[in-house]
Every structure is written in structure tokens, then in C-alpha cells.
Chain A
Amino acid sequence: MAVPEPFTGTTVTSPVRHHILSVLVENKAGVLARIAGLFARRGFNIYSLAVAPADDSQRFSRITIVVDAQSAPLEQIRGQLNKLINVVDIKDLAPREALERELLLATVSVDETTRPAVLEAVAQANASIVDVNEGAVTLMLAGTPTACDALERRLEGFTHVELHRTGRVALPRLSAVPTKN
């Protein structure tokens, strides 16, 4: 797949000045609460957050946080996060340096008349159908936040039963200058 253009504009799920923090944490009880509590009490805004185990031993998890860099200087957010004892490492990625991906799952009601249009939307977005029955299809898109936004807007014309997005995960672009961490 071709590398898409770096994202610069606004999406549904992030503000103009957002930043991505990829935070490696000890996989201990309450770690997520510590991070969420820190953001809440210091008035830092989170736009999305994705958590998953980061190694086979399950000793660490990776939390990808999209933060609003307007609610507080990034340096403060990093600095305060770093003081949490269970936070092992923080990498920050400016959107233009990041390869961001997100997963979208949506179940859309269809009937004879709407089915072709839904299928067309799926095809155009490079999404796929993962489940069907007579009255509905469930589709999936793994793509850039912008692509997910575009599909979400497109689906607004139909009756969605449910639409879920995971929040993004990110890695540095191989072409990007190494970011400080």
C-alpha cells in the first residue's frame, strides 16, 4: 500500500494541534487510572487512547495517547507523565512524523435500495465486509484517521446500527527525522 500524505488537517477525533504520545508502562493494576487521573487533574485533554500488551511476558503495555497540545504544553504533559513511577518510556510523535492507523467497525442497516450504495462506499474506502445478514452489513476499515473520518461521514447518509473506532496507534515514519524521546 502506498504511504499516504502526512496528516495535517483536522479530523473528527483530533484537534489541529494534536500530538501522539506512545507510552510504555508497567502492566500493573491501576496504571491506566494513574494516567487518566493525571490528565484529569492537570487539565490535559485526551482525544483518543489505545492500550494493548506490549510484550509476550505481559510485563509492559503500550498506551497510545492522542493529546491536545493546546490544552497544555507538550513538555508539561511529558514531564508530568514521566513522574509516574510505572511509566517506563515516552515517545512523542508530531503528526507529520507519525504513521498513524486506526480501526473502524460499523454495522449499517441495508435494504434492497441502499445495499449497492453501501457496498460502493465500502469499495471506495478500501474497507471490507466482515459480517452480513439480511438487514445489515458490518464493515471494517483499517486506515488513517482521515480515511476513517471520511468513511464515517460517508456512512452518515445511511442508518448505522453502530459505529466504533479504536483510537489510533502510531509509529515513526521511516522517512521522518528521528524524534527526540
Chain B
Amino acid sequence: MQLTGAQALIKSLEQMGVDTIFGLPGGAILPVYDPLIDSSIRHILVRHEQGAGHMAEGYALATGRPGVAMVTSGPGATNIVTPIANAHMDSTPLVVITGQVPTANIGTDAFQECDITGITMGITKHNFLVTSADEIPRAVAAAFYIATTGRPGPVLIDVPKDVTQATMQWWWPETVEEYDLPGYHPQSSIDDAGAAAAAELIAQAQRPVLYVGGGVLKSRASAQLLAFAERTQIPVVTTLMARGAFPDSHPLHLGMPGMHGMYSAVTAMQQSDLLITLGARFDDRVTGKLDGFAPNAKIIHVDIDSAEFNKIRRADVALRGQIDEALTAIDAKVINVGDYAGWWREIKGWQEKHPLAYDPQEENVALRPQAIIEAIATRSAPGTIVTSGVGQHQMWAAQHWKYEEPGTWINSGGAGTMGFGVPAAVGAKVGRPDRTVWCIDGDGCFQMTAQELVTARAEGIPIKVAILNNAYLGMVRQWQEMFYDERYSEVYLSPDLPDYVKWAEAMGCVGLRARTMDEAIAAIDQANQINDVPVVIDFRTDASEKVFPMVPSGATNDEIVVHPSQRGN
């Protein structure tokens, strides 16, 4: 069968089981948009390529399948750099296809030429410049293989226009050998001696903590984690990237650790004598000042990426492999565990002394953002997927929403990309149309990518957006209040410029506004009943509200600052 390179590209994506591409066409990728018309693949036409990238991420994080985005060369390609960097930091499997100027023009500063493989070298797991139409099936198959195996990540395929216009004899690489990746060996098996050594450390520990990171979600190890925790009765903390990996309602769960973590989770790690680290990477937002982090803890470190071992913190036992397999292997070796009654008594004490707290909502004052999140959580269907932007609202959404299952919390952790929330929600809803999808957004973040609500309306993707409108770049304001003597520099945004309701309506969405708790409840219920168009609610929240607890940057986790109502406890 003779195909054009463009036809081969679309056919290759079909072979990989792709059902959705997020993208926007242009000169260099034009040939590929033609056979797309005849394909079963759904294309979602975004309004900005950054939207395509974050949608693909949202899709991937909600479904566990790789997200696919396609854009043109030059500015189309550079517009998707931020999502690629974001996916790289959060190990999200993406395949990004960029058009490129014709091979003969590469290196001549041709119209809309840019060296996107060079630009993205450090922020992709791998990238390819395809130089002949014959190579397209191999490049696509290899890209998906690399993106989804081992530690997942973004892979970019750059395809010059003459390559998509050329013809080729269709073929398909049936085996991994044909992918021609002599340097890539993602398979791993758990080292038996390592598992035994880990079990030995667990047997000796008196104050162990299961430090659960995003890798647990990536390796779909939640069931094994639950079984392991229940059998051993070891307390669990889930990082920002792992919310949902262990049910928040479970009594063994202490919640999120880190800069804005639960007091009990942060302190249990500090006081621990063994951190059983599962797919987590000792991020500075978790460790605080490194010299003071968990000073008496031994470390078991389980990860698929052995380069994480000893990168930040020395591991006493390092086990490379899938986390579910590692847990099963360790579980088989753990004969007896310690008596953690004393450890749990201490933890319970911290939990009682320092639960998550905020000032109660009073009448006639601006809305408490935490109360809004709790109201949405209790009034939305079980299994609702939450996405967020980056800022205070993100931290409150991570703290106050109770996540019960994997894939229900989608955010930008490693990169902290403002504007992630709305497009990620669109992608999540496309991947999981059966679920309610709420984006908990900030007013600053909303303004960065709101245009994708036009996409959502046009494509019939009914997401719900809660803007926690504090009229500020609130997280930055909080730092200026606490660490810069309340000298506010360039953080004020205004509550009503833009008018979010009118803006939502102009984008074909339902726009609502809430200033009181009664209005908020009514708006939330109304939004949850609307299932054909996107809804945006402008919640007028209190600008002075701060995220607590907080470990100031540069401080050790022992210096955690709790909510004012708990100081002196």
C-alpha cells in the first residue's frame, strides 16, 4: 500500500490506538491535516497551542493513556514548549507532533523555521527529527513506547513538510526490536536481595512512614499500596503529585507533606526513623531545608528511574522497578512488623493539635476559599475529577478536597505552570466524559488560558470552572505579606476587571457569580446540573486569606508555621 507520509502518520497514530489529538494547524503541518479528515481520530481545535499541550496532559493524567498534541512549526512549536516542560517535570506521557520546514530549508532561517528538537532536548524524554517518510511508522511507534514505558515523559516528533508529502510503502514495526532503540531498556525486575534488605529495615523500624509520590499513580500501584499499608499499619503521606493514590478517608492516611502539607504528615516524616519512599523524589518543596530533613530516618527508595537514587538524599536501600512489583516483593519478605502503637499515639496527638484549619465563614464577609472548595467537594458527584492552576487555590484544592481514587487530582506540580487548570480540565473531560470535571482556578491563572473555554464550548466539553477570585496573584501576595514586610509589588489584579461573568458568556459558557455562601451553594448546584455547556463561577474570595500550614522557604520542616488559631498549641 502506497501512502503519503501524512497518511502514514495518521495511520500510525490509529495503530497506536489514539482516539484524540489536541492541535492547531499551520503551513508546515498542513499535509497531515488533510488525511485527518478521513480518520476516526477526534481532533480538538484549540485556540492556543499551550492549550493543546495542557489538554493532552489532562487527558493523560485522567486516563493513564498518553496524550497527543499536534502543532505547526516555528511559533506553533514554541507555544507548546511550556506544556512539554511541564510534562517532563511531572513525568506525564505525551506525544507531541510538530511540523517542520522542508528538509532542504532546514538551517536557512526559512519562514517559521525553528530548531524545536534543539529547544526541547532538555525537556523531553526524547525527540526525533524524521528525515524520510519510510521512517514515520517507526518514529511514531518508538515515540509511544518511550513516552509510556519506564519513567513516562513527553516525546516530540518533528516532521518536515517534504517528509509528509513524500510517498512510502506502508509498513508497521510489529516488535520492539524494530523500533531500533539499542540504548533503551525500560524493563526491570525487582532485585530479590534488595527487597529482603528493605524488609529487614522495615522489621527494625519503630517510626516508619510510607512516603508516596506520583510514581505510585504512574505504576498503578494503589491497590498494592493499600494492601501493604493495611497489613503493616504504617502511616501514609501522599505528595502533591500523589493525591488520590491512597484514599484521604483512610485512617492510615496523614495527608500531604511539604511546604503546605498537613502538620501531622510533615512532622511524622521529620520524626520518622524509616521513610519508605515510593516513586517520590525528595523535591525541595517536600524536604524543606535539606540538612534538617528527617534527620534520623533511614531511606528505602523505590523508583523506576535509578538516577533518582542518591540524587538528593542517600538511600540505605534502593530498589529499581515498578512500585506495585516492589511492594509485592517486599510484602512477601516482611514477616513481622514492629508495634507502632506508640508511634500512632504521637501522630494522633499531632493530628488533634493541628488539624487543617481556617477561620469560620461569617456573614457579610468575603468568601473563604477553603469553604468554597469544601462545598464543591461535598455537592459534586463521587469520582469528580479536579484540576487546578498554580497558587493558593491549588494548595487549598490539594488540602481541602478529599481524594479517594487515582486520577481524580490533576495539577502542575514540578513546574508550577499558571494556566494549567482550564485546558487540563478540558483534556480530562475528553478522556473521561463520564466524570464531572471541576477546575479550581485562580483569577490570575484563569486569565492565562481562559480562551480554551471557547474550545470547550465549540467541541461540547462541559467542564466547570470555579475561579477563586481574590483579585490578587495571591500566592505571591502571601509571600510579600509574610516575608517582605507587607510591601506588595505588582500583585493586584482587580476583582472585576475583567468581568468574569461577561467573559464566560462571551465564550459561550454559563457565567455565574457568588459573593455570599448562599449564592455560592446555589451556583455550585446550578453548575452541577448543567451538562451541555461549560460553566464558570466567579467566587469573590477574601484576599487576605493565607495558606497554612507553611514551611517558609529555606527553613527546615521543624519550623512549620501553623494556622494563627493554633499558635501556642
B61 within 8 A of A: no
Contact present for A82 and B307 (CB under 8 Å): yes
| Measured CA separation A89–B185 after assembly (Å) | 11
Shortest Cβ distance from A83 into B: residue: B307
Task: For chain A, give the interface size range.
Answer: 20 to 34
A116 within 8 A of B: no
Among listed A11-19, A27-35, A150-158, interface-contacting one: A27-35
Contact present for B122 and A88 (CB under 8 Å): no
Chain A nearest CB from B184 CB (Å) reads 5
Shortest Cβ distance from A88 into B: residue: B183
A26 within 8 A of B: yes
B451-491: CB near A (< 8 Å → 1, else 0) gives 00000000000000000000000000000000000000000
- Which residue of A29, A76, A83, A85 contacts B310 across the interface (Cβ within 8 Å)? A76
Shortest Cβ distance from A34 into B: residue: B121
Shortest Cβ distance from B183 into A: residue: A88
| Measured CA separation A88–B306 after assembly (Å) | 16
| Measured CA separation A37–B124 after assembly (Å) | 12
B309 within 8 A of A: yes
Chain B nearest CB from A28 CB (Å) reads 9
| Measured CA separation A26–B183 after assembly (Å) | 8
A79 within 8 A of B: yes
CB contact list, A62-91 vs B, under 8 A = 73, 75-76, 79-80, 82-89
Cβ–Cβ < 8 Å partners of A82 in chain B: 306-307
B514 within 8 A of A: no
* 8 intermolecular pairs with C-beta atoms under 8 Å apart: A26-B182, A30-B118, A30-B129, A75-B309, A79-B311, A83-B125, A83-B305, A89-B183
A137 within 8 A of B: no
Task: For chain B, give the interface size range.
Answer: 10 to 19
B104 within 8 A of A: no
Contact present for A80 and B307 (CB under 8 Å): yes
Cβ–Cβ < 8 Å partners of A99 in chain B: none
The verdict on A30 contacting B121 (CB below 8 Å), with A76-B310, A79-B309, A82-B307 known, is yes
Contact present for A75 and B126 (CB under 8 Å): no
The verdict on A33 contacting B305 (CB below 8 Å), with A85-B126, A85-B146, A85-B183 known, is no
| Measured CA separation A33–B120 after assembly (Å) | 12
Q: State the B residues within 8 Å of A (CB).
A: 117-118, 121-122, 125-126, 129, 146, 181-184, 305-307, 309-311
Chain B nearest CB from A158 CB (Å) reads 42
Cβ–Cβ < 8 Å partners of B146 in chain A: 85
Across chains A and B, which 5 residue pairs bring their CB atoms closest together, nearest first?
Answer: A79-B307, A88-B183, A85-B126, A88-B182, A87-B183
Shortest Cβ distance from B117 into A: residue: A30
Chain A nearest CB from B115 CB (Å) reads 10
Contact present for A75 and B310 (CB under 8 Å): yes
Contact present for A85 and B125 (CB under 8 Å): yes
Chain B nearest CB from A161 CB (Å) reads 34
Chain A nearest CB from B98 CB (Å) reads 15
Shortest Cβ distance from A36 into B: residue: B121
Given contacts A29-B129, A34-B121, A85-B181, 16 further A-B contacts (CB under 8 A): A26-B183, A30-B117, A37-B122, A38-B122, A75-B310, A79-B306, A80-B307, A82-B307, A83-B125, A83-B305, A85-B146, A85-B183, A86-B183, A87-B183, A88-B183, A89-B183
A74-113: CB near B (< 8 Å → 1, else 0) gives 0110011011111111000000000000000000000000
Chain A nearest CB from B151 CB (Å) reads 8
Shortest Cβ distance from A59 into B: residue: B182
> Which of A29, A33, A85, A86 has the most chain B CB within a 10 Å cutoff?
A85
Cβ–Cβ < 8 Å partners of B117 in chain A: 30
Contact present for A73 and B310 (CB under 8 Å): yes
A180 within 8 A of B: no
| Measured CA separation A26–B122 after assembly (Å) | 18
| Measured CA separation A80–B308 after assembly (Å) | 9
Chain B nearest CB from A95 CB (Å) reads 22
Shortest Cβ distance from B184 into A: residue: A85
Shortest Cβ distance from B129 into A: residue: A29
Cβ–Cβ < 8 Å partners of B305 in chain A: 83
A25 within 8 A of B: yes
Chain A nearest CB from B524 CB (Å) reads 45
| Measured CA separation A86–B126 after assembly (Å) | 9
CB contact list, A32-60 vs B, under 8 A = 33-34, 37-38, 41
Cβ–Cβ < 8 Å partners of A89 in chain B: 183
| Measured CA separation A173–B122 after assembly (Å) | 35
Contact present for B122 and A41 (CB under 8 Å): yes
- Which residue of B118, B183, B306, B310 contacts A33 across the interface (Cβ within 8 Å)? B118
Cβ–Cβ < 8 Å partners of A85 in chain B: 125-126, 146, 181, 183-184
The verdict on A76 contacting B121 (CB below 8 Å), with A25-B183, A87-B183 known, is no
Chain A nearest CB from B298 CB (Å) reads 19
Cβ–Cβ < 8 Å partners of B307 in chain A: 76, 79-80, 82-83
Chain A nearest CB from B307 CB (Å) reads 3
| Measured CA separation A88–B183 after assembly (Å) | 4
- Which residue of A25, A37, A75, A83 contacts B121 across the interface (Cβ within 8 Å)? A37
Cβ–Cβ < 8 Å partners of A26 in chain B: 182-183
| Measured CA separation A84–B181 after assembly (Å) | 11
Shortest Cβ distance from A30 into B: residue: B117
| Measured CA separation A82–B125 after assembly (Å) | 12
| Measured CA separation A84–B153 after assembly (Å) | 13
Shortest Cβ distance from B155 into A: residue: A85
Cβ–Cβ < 8 Å partners of A75 in chain B: 309-310
| Measured CA separation A26–B128 after assembly (Å) | 13
Cβ–Cβ < 8 Å partners of A30 in chain B: 117-118, 121, 129
| Measured CA separation A84–B125 after assembly (Å) | 8
| Measured CA separation A151–B310 after assembly (Å) | 41
| Measured CA separation A37–B121 after assembly (Å) | 8
| Measured CA separation A143–B146 after assembly (Å) | 42
The verdict on A84 contacting B183 (CB below 8 Å), with A75-B310, A76-B310, A79-B309 known, is yes
Cβ–Cβ < 8 Å partners of B309 in chain A: 75, 79
Chain A nearest CB from B198 CB (Å) reads 19
> Which of B129, B183, B307 has the most chain A CB within a 10 Å cutoff?
B183
| Measured CA separation A82–B305 after assembly (Å) | 10
| Measured CA separation A76–B311 after assembly (Å) | 6
| Measured CA separation A84–B122 after assembly (Å) | 10
Chain B nearest CB from A131 CB (Å) reads 36
